[in-house]
Amino acid sequence: MEIDPSEVEAYLTHLFGTDVQVLALEPIGDSGTAAVTKTDGRRRPLKMYGYGQPVLIHYQVAGQEHRAVLRTMAPSPFGHEYRADRAAGLLLSYDTFNNLPRHVHALDVGVLISGHRPLSLRHGGEFFLLTDYVEGELYARDMERLRDTGTLTDLDVRRARRLAEYLAQIHAVKSDDPALYRRRIRDLIGAGEGIMGLTDSYPPDFPLLPAGWLEQIEKACVSWRWRLNRKTHRLAQVHGDFHPFNVLFSEDVEFCLLDRSRGAWGEPGDDVSCMTMNYLFFSLQRSESLAPPFQELWDVFWNTYLEITGDQEMLSVVAPFFAWRGLVVASPMWYNIPDAVRMKVFRFIENVLREDVFDPTRVNEYIY
């Protein structure tokens, strides 16, 4: 990484609203090459090996010399694998440093853009994302129609098959990053959007659950984490939130996806459980079991995926992902469904966590 003193100078001039002269840039805690020296005044880019090393900036305003530190964050296996992780850490630092007595003050927070030019973000509020607009109908509308009418069409079957084929295709792209796989499993259990975040979202003394039930589910999932931690060879390209409300069909079997979540790489069982849990969920609303027409979609999806991938090992890792997705669809925060449906989802969660290997043909045993 190279940082150009002239770019830092322009940035500081804009930040302080007055002319700034950069006198020197030098890495802190390293014998690396300084960018500018006070003695020769020559402007040489500061060369550093990657991110994470603080840079000491010597600068001058109206003849008065000052110093500041430019800090970046390096990728690490401690929750800093993604650029979003590192951005979150630095934004939190800016938001909190100046509120604590005797803490070093944060002057600004920003981003290094092309050419490693600093750009201030301190006046920003909430971040936003701008995307394309795509025409289509949510796959969830198909689920609702099947729930309400029970009439299965050839198109329904072909769409389920196409979605399974798509997952088989993207999951074939693998990544060799054991620490990242373990991170994804850790997030499954302990992240705010994961199992513990969901269990915390249930009302205290939820009347449908016996005392301690959610605690026991958490403990069971932690045990599963230690089984899955050894499966790092499974790290693959994923969507991360592959459910019917994130799939838009335009016509026939053509579709587009919305809201990829939680990173580019993960456990394939995440995507498969996410979609198939919804087949079970809508079937429970109609029949209080996995039954036609959703039984056909469930079978087509699982059979297609396993036939293409040959990934029988998924059946020995998918249980905690089903627990996670089950806690979502059974949550009183998200869905207004009969208590009988919630109870069958809760039993499904309990029973799949007890099994070493999930059997897609035994679903109706798991809900009783």
pLDDT bucket at 3, cuts 50 / 70 / 90: confident
Class of domain 137-366: alpha beta
Share of residues in the chain with pLDDT > 70 (%): 93
Q: For position 134, what pLDDT does the model report? A: 87
| Residue range 228-241, pLDDT digits in tens | 999 999 999 999 99
Higher pLDDT, 22 or 123: 22
Domain boundary assignment for the chain: 2-120, 137-366
Q: For position 100, what pLDDT does the model report? A: 82
Average pLDDT over residues 56-84: 89
Show Cβ contacts of residue 188 under 8 Å, excluding neighbours closer than 6 positions.
194, 195, 221, 225, 267, 270, 320, 321, 324
Q: For position 37, what pLDDT does the model report? A: 45
Q: For position 38, what pLDDT does the model report? A: 46
Q: Any alpha helices (H) in 191-318, and if so which ranges?
A: 195-201, 213-228, 268-287, 294-309
Say if strands 117-120 and 137-138 run parallel, antiparallel, or are unpaired. unpaired
Average pLDDT over residues 43-66: 79
| Residue range 231-271, pLDDT digits in tens | 999 999 999 999 999 999 999 999 999 988 888 899 999 99
What is the rounded CA–CA span in Å between residue 101 and residue 252?
62
Show Cβ contacts of residue 14 under 8 Å, excluding neighbours closer than 6 positions.
120
pLDDT bucket at 158, cuts 50 / 70 / 90: very high
| Residue range 337-367, pLDDT digits in tens | 999 999 999 999 999 999 999 999 999 999 9
- Helix or strand (DSSP H, E) at 120: strand 117-120
Q: Looking at residue 57, what DSSP letter applies? A: E
Closest of 289, 353, 297, 291 to residue 325, by C-alpha:
353
| Residue range 167-224, pLDDT digits in tens | 999 999 999 999 999 999 999 999 988 999 999 999 988 999 998 999 999 999 999 9
In this predicted structure, the answer to whether residue 28 has a pLDDT above a threshold of 90 is no
Query: Does the CA dihedral 313-317-318-321 come out positive or negative?
Result: negative
Mean pLDDT (the chain, rounded)? 91
